[in-house]
Amino acid sequence: MNRAFHRIARITRTLLTVYYAYMVEYRAELLFWVLSGTLPLILMGVWVKAAQGGQFGLSPEDFVRYFLAVFLVRQFTVVWVIWEFEREIVEGKLSFRLLQPLDPGWHHLASHFAERFARLPFAILLIGLFFWLYPQALWFPSLTELLLFSVAVFLAFILRFVSQYTFSMAAFWIERAYAIEQFWFLFYLFLSGLVAPLDVFPPLVRQIVLFTPFPYMIGFPASILVGLPVNIGLGLLIMIGWILLFLVLNRWLWKRGLRQYSGMGA
């Protein structure tokens, strides 16, 4: 048991070190990737202006803090595994991965996880610049909120990763698996809390959406950080349930897809 733990720890450390070094080589690109995630800050201005003349149940300061939290959550939950996995299938590079005594999914997970640390300094600089421009929006979450936010954003990343990785299994049968992700992204865009907080949705729509995986990828962690009312216990259980569902589906498609992949002569 102790030997197995040390082996897992050694493999994990090696993967994270290698992929972190790989990501740091592209520091300039990382800056552009961070800047490409500033859509919430743009939407923030729209909603702040709307809140000044409308009644949404949230003050302009609430909208400012919420969309800043959304920006932060997106820095931790951005995922691109479907494009990498599709390329490995189409170009036949998955064959080399299969020769290793390690599931290829761990390589993708390690590269995503290491990239979080590589982009974090740029995100912190942007947040510092934001508070310098909007000092009235500065707030300090409690220790409990920070801990719950950390758990929620970690689960949000896992949920986003396993869902997209599951869709990428379609690459065993079709050449453009990312088309599924593009369709899924439409629901993600409007129901995750990226475009608008769920608090501004009609009550019936909000109740239905809360049982889908989308609001837990962005809106749920962001709401915890800024102190908006959410059912934390139920939310975490729903996140874990969707993660387990996608994992089971992922493993089933993986086994079926490997038979298809070898049958194609790759």
Give residue-wise pLDDT tens across range 186-211: 999 899 988 888 888 888 888 999 99
Within its chain, how far is the Cα of 6 from the centroid? Answer: 29
Q: Is the pLDDT of residue 243 over 90?
A: yes
> According to the model, what pLDDT value does residue 254 have?
94
Considering the entire predicted model, what is its pTM?
Answer: 0.88
Place of tokens 């992922």: 250
Q: What is the pLDDT of residue 265?
A: 41
Predicted pLDDT at 201: 86
Say which DSSP state 101 is in.
S
Q: What was the pLDDT predicted at 34? A: 64
Who's near 60: CB < 8 A, 6+ residues apart? 48, 51, 52
Give the residue from 62, 230, 200 showing the smallest Cα distance to 139.
Answer: 62
- Which tokens belong to 44? 């923030």
DSSP letter string over 140-183?
---HHHHHHHHHHHHHHHHHHHHHHHHHHGGGGT-S-THHHHHH
Q: What percent of the chain has pLDDT over 90?
A: 34
CB atoms < 10 A from the CB of 199, how many? 17
pLDDT exceeds cutoff 90 at 213: yes
Q: Name the residue with tokens 């997209």.
A: 164
User: H-helix or E-strand containing 45?
Assistant: helix 39-53
Nearest to 157 by CA among 72, 43, 84: 72
pLDDT at residue 266 is higher than 50: no
Q: Please give the mean pLDDT across all residues of the chain.
A: 84
Q: Residues 71, 41: contact at Cβ < 8 Å?
A: yes
Cβ atoms of 209 and 215 within 8 Å: the answer is yes
Q: Angle between the 104-133 and 81-91 helix axes, to the nearest 10 degrees? A: 150
The answer to whether 68 and 61 have CB atoms below 8 angstroms apart is no
Distance CA 240, CA 255 (A): 23
Positive or negative, the CA dihedral 120, 124, 130, 136 is positive
Indicate the pLDDT class of residue 31, thresholds 50, 70 and 90. Answer: low
pLDDT higher than 80, residue 18: no
User: By mean pLDDT, which of 131-135, 214-218, 240-244 is the weakest?
Assistant: 131-135
Please name the amino acid found at residue 123: A
